[in-house]
């Protein structure tokens, strides 16, 4: 009798995936993905020298914002589209600036002198 209660309590505590959302209207924000959506995505479309970026949940049940539909729309304007998906919390986040390792060498030499 206690097992059904445990199962029901686990169902109610499901935590949804958090993704960054970026579009031209709302800017950058975060959102909880709908249940049963386990991927964040970043889509870029290069067309006529312009790059459009969309970030969000890769929700296949919501065709206007799924990678497949965005790619189709991008190709319709003679663009080249790329969709990158990931499964971690906020994994489609802002681009992190990489610090070239070679720049550390002069800093280390100055520190050691």
* Confidence grade of residue 110 (pLDDT, cut at 50, 70, 90): very low
Cα separation of 41 and 91, whole Å?
Answer: 8
Handedness of CA 44, 47, 51, 52 (dihedral sign): negative
pLDDT per residue over 47-91, tens digit each? Answer: 999 999 999 999 988 888 888 899 999 999 999 999 999 999 999
pLDDT per residue over 2-11, tens digit each? Answer: 544 444 444 4
Q: Which structure tokens are listed for 41?
A: 């995505």
Residue with tokens 């489609």: 92
Q: Which structure tokens are listed for 46?
A: 């290069």
Tell me how far apart the 2 most distant CA atoms of the chain are, in Å: 72
H/E stretch holding 77 reads none
Residue 67 or residue 97, greater confidence: 67
This prediction's pTM: 0.66
Q: CA 91 from chain center: how many Å? A: 5
Which domains are seen in the chain, by residue range?
A: 16-95 (2.10.60.10)
């Amino acid at each position: 009798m206690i097992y059904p209660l445990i199962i029901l309590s686990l169902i109610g505590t499901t935590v949804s995936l958090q993704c960054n959302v970026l579009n031209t209207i709302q800017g950058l924000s975060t959102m909880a993905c709908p249940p049963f959506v386990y991927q964040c995505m970043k889509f870029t479309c290069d067309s006529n020298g312009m790059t459009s970026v969309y970030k969000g949940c890769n929700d296949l049940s919501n065709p206007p914002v799924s990678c497949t539909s965005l790619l189709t729309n991008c190709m319709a304007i003679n663009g080249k589209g790329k969709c990158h998906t990931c499964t971690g919390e906020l994994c489609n986040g802002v681009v992190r600036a990489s610090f070239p390792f070679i720049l550390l060498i002069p800093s280390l030499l100055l520190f050691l002198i």
